[in-house]
Amino acid sequence: MPPSTGIRRGRGPAVVVWVIAAVALALLVLPLVAVLLSAPWPQLPALLVAPETLQALGLSVLTGAISTALCLVLGIPLAVVLARSVSWPVVPRRLLRAAVTIPLVLPPVVGGLALLLLLGRTGVLGRYLAPLGVTIPFTTGAVVIAQTFVAMPFLVFAVEGALRGADRRVELAAASLGASPWQVFRTVTLPLVAPGIAAGAVLCFARALGEFGATITFAGSYPGVTRTLPIASYLASQTDLTQSIALALVLLVVSVAVLLGLRDRWLPGVRG
Amino acid sequence: MSAPAPAGGARLSAAAPTLQARFVAARGSFRVEPRLDAVAGRPLALVGPNGAGKTTVLHALAGHLAIESGSIQLGGRELAGLPPEARRVGVVFQDFLLFPHLTVADNVAYGIRMRGARRAAARAAALPWLERFDLIDLAARYPHELSGGQAQRVALARALACEPEALLLDEPMAALDVEVRDEVRAELAGHLRDFAGPTVIVTHSAADVAALAADVAVLEHGTVTQRGSWAALRKEPATPYVARLVRQQDE
Amino acid sequence: MTIGSTRFAAIALLASAGLLLAACSTPSTARIVTETADPVRGTVTVLAAASLTEVYGELAARFEKLHPGVTITESFGGSSALAAQIVQGAPADILATANEATMKTVTDAGLADGTPIVYATNILTLVVPPSNPANITAVADLAKPGVKVALCDKTVPCGSAALSLLSAEKVTVTPVTLETDVKAVLTKVELDEVDAGLVYVTDAKTAGGKVRQIAVPDAANAVNRYPIVVLAGSTNKTTARAFEQFVLSTTGLNALKKAGFGAP
């Protein structure tokens, strides 16, 4: 009798593995199915054009896009440094990586509170901005900052992974063909890591779109200014469940659309 | 110590550039101390057992590794201290290292673009090279769609298209299937004959030496143990390794 | 199987058998104890409005001292969120909201055991940071341009009360944020992130020196009536009712009065 191990040579994973994988998949997919099944389909058109919905949607998409752009501008150089840090001594290298991981391990509300204590009216830095007439909390800018804070690690790690995985030897070939270091970066390195950057940007946008705790703590909740889709959905869930489900559905559709839309653009030219 | 006697028929003039390398380079704890002369029109094969340091020498010649002391002269110009992009030395790498995100045409045109040409002008200038290497039909393909032999042609065309002053090849046949090697090697020999500058071919295969090279330098444990024409080496191998190499070709 | 793993399996088997025996034995010993012990025992889960955090915390501690076999678990939040949770099936024994409208969603769903009893009232007050950066002296000052005001969202009891109060005073305010519960408003004022907020007098009291309170003369125009009810889905109705009675007792009402709540 052959031993029943997890992986069998030439026969694929054992049944047990399939079953557990199916359970895992169910856990991920069934809640979405429940949303689709519970959606108030007849009332949906009216709910979707309601001012609260459109306001929250517009705000979420706008802030999400700006946050993603900010993450790209700030995050790619950080990813380059992180990728090069393999040659650093242990302590600085680990500290750098830990710093980038902070928003991933910090509960979002704690992150929001920290931002408030830094940039609030009486905050460590904010107190110097207040006399200049600059206050950050309760503005749409605060939403962008909160989203950028929580979403940055997704982008940085995705780009770092792409940088590490790319066969950097092609950079040697480019140099031998007369390309200066800046030209090598622009014409070879960047295009090679572009799929990784795109994947990171998608993750970043999705995370920014779904951010709740940091936003509500740092930026507050006011329709049209700081009340993003997740916050609107949460508030609605307490009084009008159908409205809440409609908002949740909008969030779902936007996320899936972004995921599908970006994948196609980056497929041609680069294998895989 | 004298320069190798030119084989009958080689056309040498005082203006033909040579690549002269006498230097010390180190990679980690491994040191190489080669003495090489490659004359234009007489490709030099740099042979040696695995671990002898051949790739290290190649990287130093290409500019990817800095030398500790000595000099690398190309046509009177000192290359040591120059970054790779300033050396005008073309390299065909063992794995070809074609740019995966560019078509064959754009790969070949890359060096021309880096010298300042706009994309359309570079593509036009690359056309004759695509023709010469029989790549017109493949111009719109991507590297992952090419066979080994085709990829080698692209790598060679790419290196030659920016008109380098010298050419380095690293184990040119190693990435190809055994069945196609003889045919590709013969083709490559033709292309090398057409190149006007000095050529250095790093290889451990006697078949490569016989088909592609006129002169040979043998590198063992970081130093050159024998130099001369292939005919001279065959007549009088100076070390056991050379003797084995010569026997390899006869088999 | 090696000898080592056999021994391990044996130990594991014995341990689980031991645990099983222990678990099985508890009911019988409990049965013997109950005949002579306090009928008020076990766990009771209370969902209460955020404004009740401090006073209910105190009352729960005192109740547990009186009945050593009892554990009261409390969860505080916006009343509408709590009511929604119960309608969604959250397991709880008692619900205490900050107004009757939110309680109604639970009674309308048939999830209350009996009629809710109103036992306290709360009115709003104006709070500002100790330094009073915007020099607020009255509710009318909230409408001045540039003043940052934090309010509860209208779906939460303190929010609807704030709306009635402001419309009674004929003051139009554009807040910078509409929070999901009254404690969030209080925090924003305590952190000096806003110039003023409308919270309950009870919240102002618990905040102590962290905020400055400005009395609103006509606050009695917007009164929130606080109901409490035992839930139909409660699994420990005896103890739940006992705690409810404790809240409604003189002890409970005194504690509420001390915290600043009004009489019903």
In a domain, C15, yes or no: no
SS3 content of chain B, % helix, strand, coil (to 5): 40, 25, 40
**How is residue B96 written in tokens?**
């070809």
Residue C174 within any structural domain of the chain: yes
- The CB density around residue A264, as the number of other CB atoms within 10 Å, is 8
| In contact, B158 and B191? CB cutoff 8 Å | no
Distance CA A63, CA A69 (A): 10
Asked if residues A259 and A210 have their Cβ atoms less than 8 Å apart, the reply is no
A near C: at least 3 beta-carbon pairs less than 8 Å apart: yes
Amino acid at A201: A
Same domain? For C148 and C204 the reply is: yes
How far is residue A138 from each of residues A226, B159, C148, C201, measured CA to CA in Å?
7, 59, 9, 25
- Secondary structure (3-state) at C223: strand
pLDDT recorded at residue A41: 87
What is the separation of C-alpha C254 from the centre of its chain, rounded to a whole number of angstroms? 18
d(CA C174, CA C148): 8
The total of other beta-carbon atoms located within 10 Å of residue A231's CB is 28
- Domain total in chain C: 2
Mean pLDDT of C247-263: 93
**What's the maximum distance between 2 C-alpha atoms anywhere in chain C?**
85
Together in a domain, C78 and C89:
yes
DSSP single-letter state for residue A187: I
Lowest-pLDDT choice from A11-20, C167-176, C245-254: A11-20
Domains of chain B in start order, with CATH, are: 18-98+166-250 (3.40.50.300)
Indicate the burial class of C48 (C-beta count within 10 angstroms; 0-12, 13-18, 19 or more).
buried
Q: What is the pLDDT of residues A171-219, one digit of tens each?
A: 999 999 999 999 998 999 888 888 888 888 988 999 999 999 999 999 9
Look at the alpha carbons of A119, A121, A127, A130 in this order and tell me if their dihedral is positive or negative.
positive
Assigned token pair, B53? 């340091």
pLDDT score recorded for residue C11: 56
**C-alpha dist (Å) from residue A199 to A78, A256, A272, B110:** 17, 14, 13, 27
Please indicate whether residue B87 or residue A4 has the higher confidence score (pLDDT).
Answer: B87
Mutate which of A235, A241, A244 to disrupt the C interface (most C C-beta within 10 Å)?
A235
| pLDDT (0 to 100) of residue B251 | 63
Binning pLDDT at 50, 70 and 90, where does residue A263 land? low
Predicted pLDDT of residue A13: 77
Residues forming a β-bridge with B200: B44, B168
Give chain A's mean pLDDT.
Answer: 87
Domains annotated on chain A, with CATH: 49-265 (1.10.3720.10)
Instruction: Residue C112: give the domain boundaries.
Output: 42-121+225-259
Tokens found for residue B129: 């090279």
Using left for φ > 0, alpha for ψ between -120 and 50, and beta otherwise, residue B134 falls in: left
Please check whether residue C193 lies inside any domain of the structure: yes
Give B34→chain A minimum CA distance, Å.
Answer: 21
Task: Report, in this order, helix, strand and coil percent for chain C, each rounded to 5.
Answer: 50, 20, 30
Q: What is d(CA B209, CA B222) in angstroms, rounded to the nearest whole number?
A: 20
Q: What is the pLDDT along chain B (251 residues), one digit of tens a residue?
A: 444 444 443 444 445 689 999 999 988 778 999 999 999 989 999 999 888 889 999 999 999 999 999 999 998 899 998 999 999 999 999 999 999 999 999 999 999 999 888 989 999 999 999 999 999 999 999 999 999 889 999 999 999 998 999 999 999 998 888 888 988 999 999 999 989 899 999 998 899 999 999 999 999 988 999 999 998 988 999 999 999 988 887 76
Strand locations in chain A (E): 7-8, 12-13
Are C97 and C76 in contact by the 8 Å Cβ rule? The answer is no
Count of C-beta atoms within a 10 Å radius of residue B203: 22
Closest CA to C243 of C38, C48, C94: C94
Count, residues in chain A: 272
Residues C129 and C207 grouped into a single domain: yes
Kindly report the nearest CA distance between residue B240 and chain A, in angstroms: 35
Tokens of residue B12, six digits: 């040498």
What is the pLDDT, as a whole number, of residue C5?
55
Do C250 and C213 lie in one domain? The reply is no
Q: Looking at chain C, which residue has its C-alpha nearest residue A135? A: C193
Name B18's bridge partners.
B39
Q: What is the pLDDT of residue A1?
A: 52
Of the CA atoms within 13 Å of residue B174, those in its CB half-sphere come to 14
Checking if the pLDDT of C176 tops 90, the result is yes
Q: Is the pLDDT of residue A3 over 60?
A: no
Q: Do A237 and C84 lie within an 8 Å CB cutoff?
A: yes
- Per the CB < 8 Å rule, is A188 touching B83? no
**pLDDT tens-digit map of C69-128:** 899 999 999 899 999 999 988 899 999 999 999 999 999 999 999 999 999 999 999 999
Are C233 and C112 members of one domain? yes
Q: Are residue C200 and residue C145 in the same domain, yes or no? A: yes
For every residue of C243-259, which 3-state class applies, written as one string?
HHHHHHCHHHHHHHHHH
Same domain for C176 and C208: yes
Best A225, A239, A240, A245 member to test C by mutation, with max C CBs in 10 Å, is: A239
Specify whether C187 is located in the same domain as C217: yes
> H/E element holding B226?
strand B223-229
Residue C136, in any domain of the structure: yes
Distance separating alpha carbons of residues C80 and C74, to the nearest angstrom: 16
Q: What is the mean pLDDT of residues C16-29?
A: 50
Question: Look-up: residue for tokens 């009340």?
Answer: A227
What pLDDT, on a 0 to 100 scale, did the predictor assign at position A268? Answer: 37
Q: For residue B87, which residues of chain A lie inside 8 Å, CB to CB?
A: 176
Range B9-16 contact pairs with CB under 8 angstroms and sequence separation of 24 or more: B10/B41, B10/B42, B10/B214, B11/B41, B12/B39, B12/B40, B12/B41, B16/B40, B16/B41
- The answer to whether A39 and A249 are in contact (CB under 8 A) is yes
**In this complex, is the C-beta atom of A234 within 8 Å of any C-beta atom belonging to chain C?**
yes
Confidence band of C143 (pLDDT split at 50, 70, 90):
very high
% of chain C exceeding 70 in pLDDT? 86
Asked, for residue C18, whether it belongs to a domain, the answer is: no
Q: What is the chain B residue with the closest CA to A267?
A: B101
- Chain centre distance of CA A182: 29
C49 part of a folded domain:
yes
Please indicate, yes or no, whether residues C115 and C232 belong to a single structural domain of this protein.
yes
Q: CB B85 to CB A170 under 8 A?
A: no
Do C241 and C208 fall within a single domain? no
Q: What is the CATH number of the domain that holds C171?
A: 3.40.190.10
Count the neighbouring beta carbons within 10 Å of the beta carbon of residue C254: 10
Whether A165 shows a pLDDT value over 90: the answer reads: no
B93 touches chain A (CB under 8 A): yes
Q: How do strand A7-8 and strand B18-27 relate by DSSP bridges?
A: unpaired
Strand pairing report for A7-8 and A12-13: antiparallel
| pLDDT at residue A58 tops 90 | yes
Average pLDDT, chain C: 87
B92 in Cβ contact with B148 (< 8 Å): no
Residue C25 confidence class, pLDDT cut points 50, 70, 90: very low
pLDDT value of position A52: 84
Residue C198 in this model has a pLDDT that exceeds 90: yes
Residues of chain A found within 8 Å of residue C155, distances taken between Cβ atoms: 235, 238-239
Q: Is C164 inside any structural domain?
A: yes
CA B247: distance to chain centroid?
A: 24
Give me the pLDDT at residue C15, please: 52
The Cα A181–Cα A200 span in angstroms is 25
Chain B nearest-CA distance from A265, in A, is 14
The pTM assigned to this predicted structure is 0.72
Lowest-pLDDT range of A85-94, A158-167, C205-214: A158-167
Q: Does C175 touch chain A (CB under 8 A)?
A: yes
Establish if C183 touches chain A: CB-CB under 8 angstroms. Answer: no
- Radius of gyration in angstroms for the set of CA atoms belonging to chain A, rounded to a whole number: 23
Torsion angle of C-alpha atoms C215, C219, C223, C226, degrees rounded to 10: 0
Query: Do C184 and C210 belong to one domain?
Result: yes
Nearest by CB to residue C177, choosing from A221, A234, A238, is A221
Write out chain A residues lying below 8 Å of C178, CB-based. Answer: 220-223, 227
The answer to whether position C8 is within a domain reads no
Is the CB of A220 less than 8 angstroms away from the CB of C83? no
CA–CA distance, A217 with A228 (Å, rounded to integer): 13
**Same domain for C219 and C229?**
no
Nearest C-alpha in B relative to A181: B85
Binary contact (A173, B99; C-beta < 8 A)? yes
In this structure, chain C runs to a length of 264
The one-letter code for the residue type at C241 is: R
Q: Do B100 and A169 touch (CB under 8 A)?
A: no
